Amino acid sequence: MYTQNNMISTRQCFRTGILENITLGMVVIPYVSVNLAGKWHFPAMLIGLLMGGVYMAFMYALSKSVTKDTLEDLKSLKGVGGAIGILYSIRFLIRIGIVLYFFGKTMQEYLLQSYNLWVIIIAFVLVCGYGAARDIEKRGRMLELLFPWMVVPIILVAVFAISNINLDELLEGLRGVNYENIRGEAGFLDVLKAGYVCFLVMSTSELLLFTMPYQKENSWRNALKLGLWILISIFLAYIFIIGILGGHWVASDSQAALNVMEAAFIPGGFIERADYPVLIFWVIGVFAIVSGYIFYARKGWEICRACIKGSAVTKGKLSLWIVMILACLAAWLWSLPDISVYLAQYMLWADVAISLIIPVILLNRSGSITSLKAVKKQLGAVVILVLITASLSGCVNKEFAPISKARESIEGREYVTNITFNGEEDITFTVADIKKYIKDATGTFETKEEKLTGESLTQVMDEYHNENGRQLDIGHLDGITFKDVADDRVREYALEMSNISHMGKSVVVTIKDSQGEKKIDLRQLIKCAYSGEEFP
Amino acid sequence: MDKYDKLYEKWFDENNHFKPAINKQLDVNIDILKKLFADAGDIVQKEFYLRRIQGSIRIYVVYVDGLVDRGVIEDGILKPLLYEWRLTDGRDLMESILHRETHTVDIKKEPDFDKVLLGILKGDTAIFIQGYDQALIVSTKKYPLRSISENDTEGGLRGPRDSFNESFRFSTALIRRRIRDPKLKCEQGTIGQRSKTDYGIMYIKDLAEPELVKKIKEKLNAYDIDGIFDSGMAEHLMEDNWYSVFPMFQATTRPDKVASGILEGRVAVVFDNSPEVVLAPCNFNMLLQASDDYYNRWAVGTFARLIRYVAALIAITLPGFYIAATMFHSEILPTKLLYAIASARSMVTFPIVVEMLIMEFLFELLREAGIRLPGPLGNTIGIVGGLIVGQSAVEAGIVSTIVVIVVALSAIASFAIPNEEFVSVYRLMKFFIIITSATLGLFGFMLGLLVIAIHLSELKSFGVPYMTPAVAGDGERAWANGDFIFRAPIKTMRKRPFWTNYKNRDRLKERD
């Protein structure tokens, strides 16, 4: 009755496509292109977008030629179908692993420093599994509903952060002026490689091949609209990120892009930091990708099972749990430096090739036997590659451990209003005494000063915590002052502060020395620290 | 096993249907009725003799005291039959009583003993006549009922104020009064093997999808249950997603809401003894709509809806967000607000999450106590709880002032939701979000919301996606009736929603 037809609407397909394809691209592509191509980052990004566009067009063309049940139809190929099913399953698991690892690390660094990465990943995989346990129609409805929750906050932040873009600096950045020291002299092959990696980030668009056949009206207009929106969104995000943060910062930190959101000023000041809510809504996009991959990884598994048993393709709950557990393990594999090298190589050279070759062969599955032989050979090569990388497990690492101690409850902290760096190692914290803040009803408070000594900011703060039992909170600073601190030391402090996620980057920094006084915001200081430029 | 147990075993089948047939020998029927209603003091049974040209004829009258209108029985049936000498023209006695002698319209012959018994128990009067294997059923129902009163659960500033009461017939009458269309159908039946509760499926023949009506009938007849005492019980039997906390029917006490639903091609199910009529299909959006939205100007209606959507969001998320922000991500809070919260918490013994749970529990306790107590006392408990207990809890350092504000705000926001059943869901969901936020901060907060969103997007009420029109399966169709957060001017609401019979989608046309 009504909508029970196992189809999705044009709007659902569009929203699913956008969520699955812009979430990672917007954050990762700026880092990849600047990090790998240096001053030629802009052409590299354009090459990546071009390749991504062509790939999407290819997927659309294929989707016009296959039926809704393409994957289920693999069953008719018997043994080969089962092998393709399990291969697809493994491929998606590898992809889930890298997304989960990157996402988990981001969440850990920005929001949950005192949590083990496993907790974050497992909680997320459970929710993704819940989302993946639905048919395509319900999945379409789910992502259609979630779409505005991610897109509207991003648009709002873009609007509120636009004033932070310095147009001249942006244009220079796009031309690569002063970007030479990021990666020495990047050659033509480096640019191509960077473009290719950008394209790899966009390879989530493979999912369109499986989604589009379910669309009620799978027309080229709809596909073109979707493709253009994906490319334009990634392009605009790129401009924003480079324009606000500068290439040096972006090239140094794969998660730097998230700092763009911090630059947004929300009118009325009812939220101090805009990046936190946006980061949280970004979870929806990653959910779309991971739940999609789990959905198809499970399908591949079920096809293999059906081929072995000779039964129909069914959706068992056990397979979902197995895929979820394997997804967590895949994330762990990506955290192992020895294995991630092989996985990265596989991703670089084999994964996209498989996603291009196998659909083409599937189209000819009812054709000549020679094509099946070709499939078998390629399958064999890829399976061996995957098995080799998988067998290299067993390394030990500390990557999943918490990266900081748990924070004290809000009444157990000292709220720092100003930090003053004196000379090389003296740091003075001006702390607000807020015990009588409400009782006095004046909205004012007294301050006290804590003079400490140490090599780094975090070390000093940790020592204070250990000695006094109260934690210094630097999330609400009014200002930072450097008094007679050498430039190199200022840069060291700035780089350290760039990695403290709960510290606002819009704080005003005053640099005092014998020549006078300079005022810049912390974001600008960090940019200079990364690029090695003179302070403005 | 006593003698009655043996008789009941003999007379009733496994579905509690009465097996014996009406006997032409009146004594046999009298014997059955006397045994059947032994020890039932409220059943009145009496034998009368009619004088006719054929001689003296015995009749036996049975009814339930308290459920009948004695005036109808005495003036409309017994007086004409007993005191007036009738020279019959030789026609059949039962036919003569049926068509000439009684002074009532609602009288019929009934050959099935089971249905006769059901009629008696519903408040009809049964007349058994010597020599006939059928009985006459006279509608004499007059239940002890409260009158139609002002709606106190779904009030509004503009629009009709009447509401359904527990009478099945009054409820159907209130609906028919608003829709004088001969195509408005009311298919009646009974549900409950022992309660035999009357129900009526009301819909407009050419607007409701036949498939929808059929499905509702199937669902109503899918179970044998002892008794149905409120539409809520039947609702839970009929829904597919029984595990979900979200209501799959729209229950309302407002006749205008039901009438408007029926005009949109929906189906109303009216149950006896229940002041709530249920409508299907139902979606999330409907549960946030109030009747005034359509009676006020479109801009005012739209604004009210916007307020309700925001209120719904606050009701479910504010406590969780507060916990996430204060426990995990205090950087998100404006500096002065953070200082105020930290300062207020300096005297509080418990961690933030415990503090919040204590206050929420206190609020739920007061609410529950307020419902159970009669009106004025209920109000008193609210004031006592809100002012005295809340204030004392703050002074004793059990909770902080900010938490009292957060809990009060989320409670006020939940009261803005016009459907009581839906409000309860929000209260439950609020606790879920509190737990996820207390576990994983804003990340847990979002995961909690994601779980709710995933669940909502998979729900369907009789084939209609629950999140329609936000997810309608078709973009154009979603806005066809202009009835989402934005309530379009009546002049532009020209189409009925997509679940209406596709042949009759126009609801507004300009006259030529």
Q: Residue A503: its chain B contacts at CB < 8 A?
A: 331
Token couple for A193: 């490689």
CA dist., res. A10 & res. A222, Å (int): 7
Q: Assess A414–B contact: CB distance below 8 Å, yes or no.
A: no
Residues B334 and B423 in one domain: yes
The domain boundary residue, chosen from B282, B307, B335 = B282
- Which among A8, A270, A504 is the nearest to B331, CB-wise? A504
Task: Note whether B124 and B184 are same-domain residues.
Answer: no
Let me know whether B118 and B46 are in one domain.
Answer: yes
Q: Is the peptide bond before B374 cis (omega within 30 degrees of 0)?
A: no
Note the pLDDT tens digit of each residue in A246-283.
Answer: 888 888 887 788 777 777 777 767 778 888 888 888 89
Q: Residues 453 to 482 of A: which have CB under 8 A from any B CB?
A: 473, 475-476
Chain A nearest C-alpha distance from B341 (Å) = 8
The reported pLDDT for the residue numbered A384 is: 52
| Domain match, B41 and B66 both | yes
Mean pLDDT for the stretch of residues A128-148: 89
**Chain B contact set for A413 (CB, 8 A):** 330, 342
Of the candidates A277, A409, A413, the beta carbon closest to that of B351 is on A409
Separation between Cα atoms, residue B332 and residue A518, nearest integer Å: 28
Q: Does A112 touch chain B (CB under 8 A)?
A: yes
Specify the residue for token string 């902290």.
A413
Q: Are residues B96 and B231 in the same domain?
A: no
- Enter the tokens of residue B68: 């009948």
List CB contacts of A480: < 8 A, sequence separation 6 or more.
A418, A419, A420, A421, A507, A508, A509, A510, A522
Please report the residues numbered 488 through 517 in chain A whose beta carbons come closer than 8 angstroms to any beta carbon of chain B.
502-504
Give the phi and the psi of residue A415 in degrees, each rounded to 5.
-90, 115
What span, in angstroms and rounded, lies between the C-alpha atoms of B135 and B29? 10
Say how far apart CA B97 and CA B77 lie, in whole Å.
9
**Minimal Cα distance from B501: which residue of A?**
A2
Say whether both B345 and B220 belong to one domain: no
In this prediction, residue B85 carries a pLDDT of 56
Top residue of A120, A266, A272 to mutate, by most chain B CBs within 10 Å, is: A272
Structural domains in chain B (count): 3
Is residue B502 a part of any domain in this protein?
no
Pairing of strands A471-473, B135-138: unpaired
Q: Which of A144, A261, A279, A478 to mutate to test the interface with B (most CBs of B within 10 A)?
A: A144
Residue B479 falls inside a structural domain: no
Residues of B in contact with A443 (CB under 8 A): 336
pLDDT the model gives residue A393? 32
Above 60 in pLDDT, residue A350? yes
Residues B267 and B302 in one domain: no
Q: Which of A171, A138, A409 is nearest to A291 (CA)?
A: A138
Does A2 sit within 8 Å of B345, measured CB to CB?
no
Q: Give yes or no for residue A394 having a pLDDT over 50.
A: no
Inter-chain touch B498–A127, beta carbons under 8 Å = no
pLDDT at residue A389, rounded to an integer: 39
Q: Please count the other Cβ atoms lying within 10 Å of the Cβ belonging to residue A479.
A: 15
Please judge whether B464 and A3 are an interchain contact, meaning their C-beta atoms are less than 8 angstroms apart.
yes
Rounded Cα gap, residues A170 and B404, in angstroms: 48
Whether residue B162 lies inside any domain: the answer is: no
Residue A111 forms contact with B (CB below 8 Å): yes
Q: Could you tell me which residues come within 8 angstroms of residue B95 by beta carbon, excluding any fewer than 6 positions away? A: none
Share of chain A above pLDDT 70, in %: 86
Chain B hits for A138, CB-CB cut-off 8 Å, are: 457-458
Instruction: Please name which of B291, B203, B286, B212 lies closest in space to residue B246, comparing C-alpha atoms.
Output: B286
Is the Cβ pair B447, A437 closer than 8 Å?
A: no
Residue at B23 is within a domain? yes
pLDDT (0 to 100) of residue A367: 43
User: Helix H segments across A310-407?
Assistant: 317-335, 337-346, 352-363, 369-391
Rounded to 5 degrees, φ, ψ at A350 are -110, -35
Task: Give the residue on A whose Cα is nearest the Cα of B464.
Answer: A2
C-alpha dihedral, A334 to B446 to B438 to B459, nearest 10°: -110
Mutating which of A4, A108, A141, A435 best tests the B interface, going by the most B Cβ atoms within 10 A? A141
The whole-number average pLDDT for the span A418-446 is 77
B397 backbone dihedrals φ, ψ, rounded to 5°: 75, 25
A437–B450 C-beta distance less than 8 A: no
B308 and B275 share one domain? no
Burial tier of A391 (Cβ tally within 10 Å: 0-12, 13-18, 19+): exposed
Q: Is A432 on the interface with B (CB under 8 A)?
A: yes
In angstroms, the separation between the Cα of residue B194 and the nearest Cα of chain A is: 34
Closest residue to A410, CB basis, from B345, B444, B463:
B345
One domain, residues B235 and B197: yes
Q: Are residues B444 and B306 in the same domain?
A: yes
B420: domain range? 296-465
Structure-token pair, residue A347: 């991703």
Q: Residue A307: enclosing H or E segment and its boundaries?
A: helix A275-309
The verdict on a CB contact (< 8 Å) between A130 and B331 is no
Q: Which of A95, A91, A132 is nearest to A291 (CA)?
A: A132
Residue B505 lies in a domain: no
pTM above 0.90, yes or no: no
Residue B475 lies in a domain: no
* Closest to B196 (Cα-Cα) out of B108, B124, B111: B124
Pick the closest to residue B275 from B288, B260, B262, B258 (CA basis): B258
B149 occurs within a structural domain: no
Q: What residues of chain B lie within 8 A of the CB of A281, using their CB? A: 446
Any B CB within 8 A of A119 CB: yes
* Total CB pairs under 8 A between chain A and B: 167
- Written as six digits, the tokens of A436 are 């009588």
CB contact (8 A) between residue A504 and residue B335: no
For an interface test with B, the pick among A136, A145, A279 (most B C-beta atoms closer than 10 Å) comes out as: A145
CA distance A303 to A264: 47
Judge whether B443 is closer than 8 Å to chain A, CB to CB: yes
| Whole-number Å distance between alpha carbons of B377 and B385 | 12
Strands (E), B125-183: 125-129, 135-138
| pLDDT, tens digit only, all 512 positions of chain B | 566 778 888 888 887 888 888 988 999 999 999 988 888 888 899 998 887 777 788 899 999 988 888 888 888 888 888 765 565 556 778 888 888 777 888 889 999 999 999 999 988 999 999 889 999 999 988 887 788 888 877 878 888 888 898 888 889 999 999 998 888 989 999 888 888 898 999 999 889 999 999 999 999 988 888 889 988 899 888 888 888 999 999 999 999 999 999 999 999 999 998 999 999 999 998 999 988 888 989 899 999 999 999 999 999 999 999 999 999 988 888 888 888 888 888 888 888 999 999 988 888 888 888 877 777 677 777 777 777 777 888 888 888 888 989 998 998 999 888 888 888 899 899 999 999 999 999 999 999 999 999 999 989 998 888 988 888 655 555 555 678 888 888 888 888 888 888 888 888 888 87
Residue B355 lies in a domain: yes
Of the candidates A451, A452, A464, A457, the one whose C-alpha atom is nearest the C-alpha of residue A500 is A457
d(CA A403, CA A409): 18
Indicate whether B202 and B180 sit together in one domain.
yes
Asked if A409's CB is within 8 angstroms of B470's CB, the reply is no
- Asked if A127 and B447 come within 8 Å (Cβ–Cβ), the reply is yes
Looking at chain A from residue 205 to 244, which residues have their Cβ under 8 Å from any Cβ of chain B? 216
Q: Does A74 have pLDDT greater than 80?
A: no
A157 touches chain B (CB under 8 A): no
Spatial separation of the C-alpha atoms in residues B156 and B293, rounded to whole Å: 10
Q: How many CB atoms lie within 10 A of CB B471?
A: 28
CB contact (8 A) between residue A3 and residue B215: no
B56 touches chain A (CB under 8 A): no
> Of B231, B254, B282, which marks where a domain is finished?
B282
Tell me if residue A339 falls in helix, strand or coil.
helix
User: What whole-number distance in Å separates Cα of residue A238 and Cα of residue A45?
Assistant: 9
d(CA B201, CA B168): 11
Residue B2 forms contact with A (CB below 8 Å): no
Domain boundary among B259, B282, B305: B282
- pLDDT at position A289 is 93
What's the mean pLDDT when you consider all of chain A?
A: 81
**CB of B480 within 8 Å of any CB in chain A?**
no
Minimal CA separation from A107 to chain B, in Å: 8
Residue A234 pLDDT greater than 90, yes or no: yes
CA dist list (Å): B111 to B104, B118, B121: 20, 13, 17
> Between B261 and A213, where is the model more confident?
B261
Query: Do B78 and B199 sit in the same domain of this protein?
Result: no
Q: Which of B267, B316, B322, B343 to mutate to test the interface with A (most CBs of A within 10 A)?
A: B343
* CB contact (8 A) between residue A410 and residue B351: no
